[in-house]
Structure 1
Amino acid sequence: MSECGQDCSTFQILICNVDSFPEDHSDACLLSHLLPMVARHWTEHVGEAPNRFEQEKQDYAFCLSHTLEVYNPEYVLLVEDDAVPLTDVFNAFFHLVQVRFPEEPLGGGLYVKFYHPERLQGYLNPEPMRILEWVGLGGLAGLVLTWVYTLTLRQQQFSWWVFVAFTIYAMILAELAGRHYLLELRRISPALYNVVPVTECCTPAMLFSKASARRTLSYLKEMVCKPGYAKDIALYQELRRRGEWAWALEPNMVTHVGMFSTLRGSFEGEEPQLL
């Protein structure tokens, strides 16, 4: 935020501590000396949730609602504790609210995801727009390779078979190299950022407008999460049921650094400090 300068002078940070024993969360308590902090188990009576997934949903709703109460902000960027924002996160924010969606906050969408797992960003995924992007990239690269091939062999006639072969070759090469690496080229300028319809996974960093945050809270209140129906899947299915939409921003604006999952029991029995 200090590097962002005057443009971020009105931004505020709130630490949301939803640990069952807030005073034992050493990181949050240390940060509370520098930044405002709210702790769920200090401010309200919390009953036992039926499962971890419902507990996570309730904690998420608590943090979102208290951010609205404390600051009444125009936008909320809710970042989970295993996500590290990248240096261009503020460029992405200003581009979204000032250039992409200047008339209506987030274009009327419920949220904008700032992260999608790299393993799910490939071309061979069920998002139709990625297939069009893949074919377009292959066609452009195939045209360039065909032009180089024609000049090298000093052929006078354009060969469609050569063009198709190079196009397929470029598409396979792009998939093997990894689409998420190619997306990094978009960091050259915010104008190159890709805003696409959202998919259901995941929630390490989510941008809400004030109005959409309140809608999200009302949706979360109505649903009960359980194994196989976590909050990210629940929100996505609720969008489709209501005929609403949300967005995902590419490339990722945060890095997911989590290794220890209390939600799914990864490394169960191990001390997370040792990992």
Structure 2
Amino acid sequence: MLDNISLMRLNEFMIILYALSVLLYFIDFLHNNRKANRTAFWLLSIVWILQTIFLFYQMFINGRFPVLNIFEGLYFYTWVLITLSLALNRFVRVDFIVFFTNVIGFMMMAIHIFAPSNAVSAEVSSQLISELLLIHITMAILGYGAFSLSFAFSLLYVIQYNLLKKKKWGKRLIRIQDLAKLDHMSYVLNVIGVPILLLGIILGVIWAYIKLPDFHWYDTKVLGSFMVIAIYSFYLYSRIVKEWQGRTVALLNIASFFVLLINFFLFGSLSRFHFWYS
């Protein structure tokens, strides 16, 4: 028989695999990357196998089908979504449906894992909530890191562009990478950063609902975080749909980073709860 801590670790492992799968499906969604799609499919398959084992384990120890409360229902709902996603990906190939379905599934699974329930002790529930906060902060920082590197590449792009335009040949021009590579790297980092930050925000909202009695959607930090996601999503939209290129999209990326800094320093300090972690 598995104890509560072992079950908690298993669920945490599943949520990490699920997050990686969603990230790879997002990359495939943007670039029609079949390798990313296949890897996401196999990661999702592993999550499904672990979920199925856990589902039957719960049936065995409880002597019933585990859907009698909201937390059990969320878990079964997530299992159904993943099952349908795998079937669609395997037989129908509706890739975009699979991606968006799994964003929903990830949210439901995170709520199931990290929301306290009567099935676990108060100590384990408290630890889960604390670890949810830790994962939220870690994913947000990783997303911010990707955006910071993307900003650096865009800044180098603008510098190199101006040097070429003014025909200032020299060692500085040679040492900076060519424009195409700088542009590509800034774009790739944003493709990585957007889903990571989005997943981190989702986990943060779940934590706030669980932990804070006075959580409000109109809090400055909440609004600022969604504004950051919105402007970087607009960057991706401009790049992929509108096919913006060159200096224009580099300047948009630089402006997006300044919005991120405003959110991090100004909106964070104005937030009613964001630094009240306990």
Superposition TM-score, scaled by structure 1 size: 0.28
Structure with greater proportional strand content: 1
Structure with greater proportional helix content: 2
Superposition TM-score, scaled by structure 2 size: 0.28
